[in-house]
Amino acid sequence: MDERVLSDVNEIIGHCVALLQHQSLFHNIEIIQNLESDLTQILGNPGELEQVFTNLMLNATDAMEGRGRITISSASELKAKQVVLTFTDTGPGISPEVREKIFEPFFTTKPVGVGTGLGLSVVYGVIHRHGGSIEVGSTPGPGATFIIRLPLESQAVIPEVADQGFA
Ligand SMILES: Nc1ncnc2c1ncn2[C@@H]1O[C@H](COP(=O)(O)OP(=O)(O)OP(=O)(O)O)[C@@H](O)[C@H]1O
Ligand SMILES: [Mg+2]
């Protein structure tokens, strides 16, 4: 169900990291969390957001072939009424050709039977349902960065809240 509650994104990220760090896939991956203390809470679906962060970290691990660093940052932009998250890895980065198709369902560069190419299309859907956006950062050199912007209160949620109030 599409249930949104006031959510602490740092806590959700921390939970994902704690779960993944125990997996052998992540034994040679360093995860750095540059999370803003007192990050503003957002209205979101914690389960869906957990799926987003897990997908990004699994992709990074695949790209780095199990060895490297993932840096996650969070920051509140109160003027823009949003929270900005970045996930950066030390893998080979993303070529312009791949970047163009990266959020399309079934787009994968992995061998048949390894990747379905659905991970980032699910990520895209979740972020957009939250009224947010996701883009691939274009830093020169190796390493990929994904930038997520989530509104503090997504437009989609406001009518639901109002409906309940006047029902
Ligand atoms: N951090 C990253 N660094 C380099 N390439 C990436 C990164 N994340 C995603 N990609 C590229 O984007 C493609 C699509 O990613 P997506 O998560 O949608 O599918 P997948 O990982 O291939 O398969 P699935 O997630 O369904 O198992 C990947 O195959 C890979 O080429
Ligand atoms: Mg994937």
Q: pLDDT class for 22, splitting at 50, 70, 90?
A: very high
CA–CA dist 166, 90 (Å, integer): 51
63 CA to centre of ligand 2 in angstroms: 10
For the CA of 58, the nearest ligand: 2
Angstrom distances, CA of residue 44 to CA of 1, 64, 132, 150:
12, 30, 11, 9
Of 132, 134, 131, which is closest to residue 158 (Cα–Cα)?
131
Whether the per-residue pLDDT at 155 is higher than 60: the answer is no
State what percent of residues in the chain have pLDDT above 70.
90
Say what the pLDDT of residue 25 is.
95
DSSP 4: -
Is pLDDT of 167 > 70? no
Q: What is the pLDDT of residues 44-87, one digit of tens each?
A: 999 999 999 999 999 999 999 999 999 999 999 999 999 999 99
| CATH code for the part of the protein at 5-166 | 3.30.565.10
For ligand 1, atom 13: residue with the closest CA: 108
**Centre of ligand 1 from the C-alpha of residue 158, in Å:** 33
Note if the pTM is more than 0.85.
Answer: yes
* All structural domains of the chain with their residue ranges: 5-166
Report which secondary-structure segment, H or E, holds 77: strand 68-77
Contact of 137 with 87, CB cutoff 8 Å = no
Taking CB atoms and a 6 Å cutoff, what residues make up the pocket around ligand 1?
55, 59-60, 63, 89, 91, 94, 98, 102, 107-110, 115-121, 144
Best CA proximity match to 119, nearest among 46, 44, 58: 58
Q: Which ligand is nearest to the CA of 91?
A: 1
Mean pLDDT of 106-113: 93
Q: What is the DSSP string of 82-136?
A: EEEEEEEESS----HHHHHHTTSTT---SPTTT--S-HHHHHHHHHHHTT-EEEE
What CA–CA distance (Å, rounded) separates 74 from 85? 4
